[in-house]
Amino acid sequence: MKKSKKLFSKCYILICFLFFYLPILVTVIFSFNSSKSLTRFTGFSMRWYAELFRNSEVASAVYVSVTIAVLATVISTVLGTITAIGLSRSRKLLKEYLLNVNNIPILNPEIVTAISLMLLFSSFGMTKGYLTMLLAHIAFCTPYVITSVYPKVRGLDPNLANAAMDLGATPAQALTKVVIPIIRPGIYAGALLAFTMSFDDFVISYFVSGNGVKNISIVVYNMTKRINPTINALSTVVIAVIILVLLAMRLLPKLRRGKNSRRPGNRALAWAVAAICLCAVCLTLPKGMGQAGEKPSLKIYNAGEYIDPDLIGLFEDMYDCTVIYETFESNEMMYTKLSGGETYDILIPSDYMIERLIREEALAPIDWSLIPNSEYLMPEVTDRSYDPGNVYSVPYFWGTVGILYDTSVVDEKDLKAGWEILRDDAYAGNVYMYDSERDAFMVALKALGYSMNTTDEQQIQEAFDWLTDQRDTMAPIYAGDDVIDNMVSGNKALAVVYSGDAAYIMSENPDMAYFTPEEGTNIWYDAMVMTKDCANTRLAHEFMNFMLDPENALANTEFVGYTSTVSPAFEEMRSGTYKGIDAYVPDVDNSNNEIFAYQEAKVKKIYAELWTKVKAK
């Protein structure tokens, strides 16, 4: 009986360790994968490590993350410790009040704290960057330190400090020689927690950063917008550094002192060695933080992984300027940052957001005489409904939303059902739906024969019923950009995807094909726009003209994979890299295809509430 209990206990422990560490092991293994796939190992290679160490953006992000985390940890630990000691001597009412206030940042959703700090810095007119990120990290780390230290302080005998002073110690000596040594475990715990929270933070950092300053979390998040195995290499390096620091803290005292390894001095030595290692890493990294210096600068705000980074460097060299390049997750997040007071010279939003910015008079008109490369623009991408006459926008990429399907699984006859194939129970459990409110409702509305821009509540309700029926009968997986690698691996038979992603998937997996139903779909356009706050309009026009150069446009579309708006680049990709791949060529002849229009707040709220209900089950 005892043996079986021990065996069960060992198995339970093993399962727990596998649950915790198997994902880390998989990440390490796939960091040495020779291909881009994140699910299929095709051979051993150091390719992604070479790309990682060539990537100056990652190096700069590591520098920002480490220095911010170290400074925020030191400052918040000092502030938190002093506050905890002060609270222990405060009146009960004041103490309870301050402790409750201290819990607010801990209990608050991060997004609330992030937007609050962003608005605070904007109200003071502070330029977002390294300093605002540091102040924000200190602000949200300090409460965790107080929470860790205060219980230790409260457990102290209040007479210890008095006894020390009765024996001749000064108040400072009583604090440093008596109080702090006793509460040291709480201080260490608070410092470690502060460092971890700071190094790991994304949401707050995203909203309070600016001027090209990014930490690791922001860079990694941007990388996830497309398949980028460099993430695995970066994660493996971070894991390796953590293991080395832990080993150093464990082994160095033993090597130095032998049996006396547990002496506090040796523990301090280990901490000192770890700190020196961190400082050495920081000093060897580039200090470029995206600051413009004396050169003219251009602030650009674009979606993650949506430009060939080599083009930015080429433009900087050609025009002897500095490009401060930042990325956003979605058009809505971009709008939130703009509403918070952040300023940029060039934005690259989608059609419906451009329409909204035009209505709100947030954009400056384009001087087309300064963009001679506009002659290469395809006629299909100009003079669209979101900006008639292209007064405010310069087309960047375009495409459609359609259905990607596995030809070895899906019967071609079933495609005649159009969007209704996504409710064909023959493919139940074998469907990816794009995790997007507007795109999901577009599918349902088009399947029902309605406009995807409808404001009719009855039609919207019918679309909601269509989506809930599909959810209940088909059990679709609502996926984001992770659908790319999953469909390359052939994990599902059907997926709703953007045409640019479909073109890439089809180039990697010949069993995949793409079609847009006859009921119509969304033809989307992303474009470069210039804000009314643009500080250097001449340089902004130079950049837009630069991106329309056929050679640069070709390099950009080859890197991103989406359909170019520049005719020579479009033709080159269609006849070369994506030859025979229909997804690269949007169907402009179908009159049922539409462009997303700007939604009024009332209509948007209806869609948002119903989409939440679809996803709630």
Q: Within 13 Å, how many C-alpha atoms sit on residue 451's CB side?
A: 10
Q: Find the DSSP H helices in 124-263.
A: 130-154, 159-166, 171-173, 180-200, 203-208, 216-223, 230-257
Who has greater pLDDT, 591 or 388?
388
* Tokens representing residue 430 in the block: 């074998």
Taking only the tens place, the pLDDT of each residue in 491-541 is 899 999 998 889 888 888 889 999 999 999 999 999 999 999 999 999 999
Mean pLDDT of 191-195: 91
Q: Are residues 304 and 325 in the same domain?
A: yes
Give the model's pLDDT for residue 255: 66
pLDDT above 60 (res 238): yes
Q: What is the pLDDT of residue 492?
A: 93
More confidently predicted of 485 and 449: 449
User: Quick check: is 48 in a domain?
Assistant: no
Q: What is the distance between the terminal CA atoms of the chain, rounded to a whole angstrom?
A: 43
Q: Do 559 and 308 contact (CB within 8 A), yes or no? A: yes
Residue 287: per-residue pLDDT: 43
Neighbouring residues of 506: CB distance < 8 A, sequence distance ≥ 6 = 404, 512, 513, 514, 578, 581, 583
- The alpha carbon of 403 is separated from its chain's Cα centroid by a whole number of angstroms, namely 26
Q: Write 100-108 long-range contacts (CB < 8 A, 24+).
A: 102/143, 102/146, 102/147, 103/143, 103/147, 104/143, 105/139, 105/140, 105/143, 106/143, 106/144, 106/147
Both tokens of 304, joined, read 């993650």
Domain co-membership, 440 together with 483? yes
- Are residue 372 and residue 410 in the same domain, yes or no? no
Report d(CA 439, CA 419) in Å as an integer: 12
Question: Does residue 246 or residue 381 have the better pLDDT?
Answer: 381
- Mapping DSSP onto H, E and C, the string for 120-148 reads HHHHCCCCCCHHHHHHHHHHHHHHHHHHH
- Residues 497 and 598 grouped into a single domain: yes
Does the CA dihedral 273-278-279-283 come out positive or negative?
positive
Give me 566's structure tokens: 């520049």
Together in a domain, 428 and 304: no
Q: Are 31 and 49 in contact (CB under 8 A)?
A: yes
Separation CA 197–CA 139 (nearest Å) = 12
- For residue 47, tell me if it sits in a domain: no
**77 assigned to some structural domain:** yes
Phi and psi, residue 424, nearest 5°: -80, 115
Lowest mean pLDDT among 112-116, 289-293, 410-414: 289-293
Q: Domain count of the chain?
A: 5
Strand locations in 416-511 (E): 431-434, 477-479, 494-498
Range of the domain at 489: 398-523+588-616
**78 and 207: one domain?**
yes
Whether residues 194 and 69 share a domain: the answer is yes
What is the per-residue pLDDT for 226? Answer: 65
**Integer angstrom CA distances of residue 450 from 424, 441, 446, 479, 524:** 20, 11, 5, 25, 18
User: What 3-state class would DSSP assign to 225?
Assistant: coil
Q: In the numeric block, which tokens belong to residue 358?
A: 């035009």
Residues 252, 3: Cα–Cα separation, whole Å: 38
Confidence of residue 434 (pLDDT cuts 50, 70, 90): confident
Q: Tell me the pLDDT tens digit for each residue of 534-556.
A: 999 999 999 999 999 999 999 99
Among 24-28, 315-319, 372-376, 578-582, name the one with the lowest average pLDDT.
Answer: 578-582
Q: Is 163 inside a domain boundary?
A: yes
Distance between CA 36 and CA 29 in Å, rounded? 13
Of 517, 516, 504, 506, which is closest to residue 562 (Cα–Cα)?
A: 504
Say which range, 16-30, 313-327, 546-560, has the weakest mean pLDDT.
Answer: 16-30
Select from 399, 424, 401 the least CA-distant residue to 519: 401
β-strand partners of 364: 530
Examine the domain organization and report whether 531 and 569 are in the same domain.
Answer: yes
Smallest CA-to-CA distance from 311 within 556, 542, 529, 548 is with 556
- Nearest Cα to 99, choosing from 154, 19, 159? 154
DSSP sequence for 83-96: HHHHHHTS-HHHHH
- What is the model's pLDDT at position 529? 97
- Interval 80-85 mean pLDDT: 90
Output the average pLDDT for the chain: 85
- 125-139, 294-308, 570-584 — which is least confidently predicted? 570-584
- How many beta carbons lie within 10 A of that of residue 288, not counting itself? 14
Least confident window among 46-50, 238-242, 266-270, 532-536: 266-270
- Spatial distance between the Cα atoms of 409 and 509, rounded to a whole number of angstroms: 14
HEC per residue, 3-18: HHHHHHHHHHHHHHHH
Instruction: Take residue 350 and report the two structure tokens written for it.
Output: 């989608």
What average pLDDT does the segment 3-21 reach?
77
Domain final position from 211, 228, 245: 228
Q: Is the same domain home to 108 and 222? A: yes
CATH number of the domain that 203 lies in?
1.10.3720.10
Q: In angstroms, rounded to a whole number, what is the distance separating the alpha carbons of residues 296 and 451?
A: 46
125: left (phi over 0), alpha (psi -120 to 50) or beta: left
CA distance 364 to 534: 8
Q: Are 436 and 555 within 8 A, CB to CB?
A: no
Q: CA separation (Å) from 20 to 23, 239, 546? A: 7, 14, 48
Structure tokens at 66: 């480490």
The fraction of the chain above a pLDDT of 90, given in percent, is: 43
Query: Is residue 507 assigned to a domain?
Result: yes
Identify the CATH number of the domain in which residue 376 sits. 3.40.190.10
Tokens of 326: 């930042």
**Residue 525 · residue 350 · CB < 8 Å:** yes
- The pLDDT of residue 419 is 95
Residues 272 and 376 in one domain: no
Residues 6+ apart with CB under 8 A from 535: 297, 299, 345
- DSSP structural state of residue 591: T
How confident is residue 253, by pLDDT bands cut at 50, 70 and 90?
low
| pLDDT beyond 80 at 257 | no
Same domain, 126 and 8: no
Domain contains 205 = yes
Confidence of residue 581 (pLDDT cuts 50, 70, 90): confident
How far apart are the C-alpha atoms of 393 and 97, rounded to whole Å?
A: 53
454 shares a domain with 597: yes
Q: Confirm whether 385 is domain-assigned.
A: yes
Separation of alpha carbons 134 and 209, rounded Å? 9
Q: Kindly state whether residue 238 falls inside one of the protein's structural domains.
A: yes
What does the angle CA 258 – CA 260 – CA 265 come to, to the nearest 5 degrees? 110
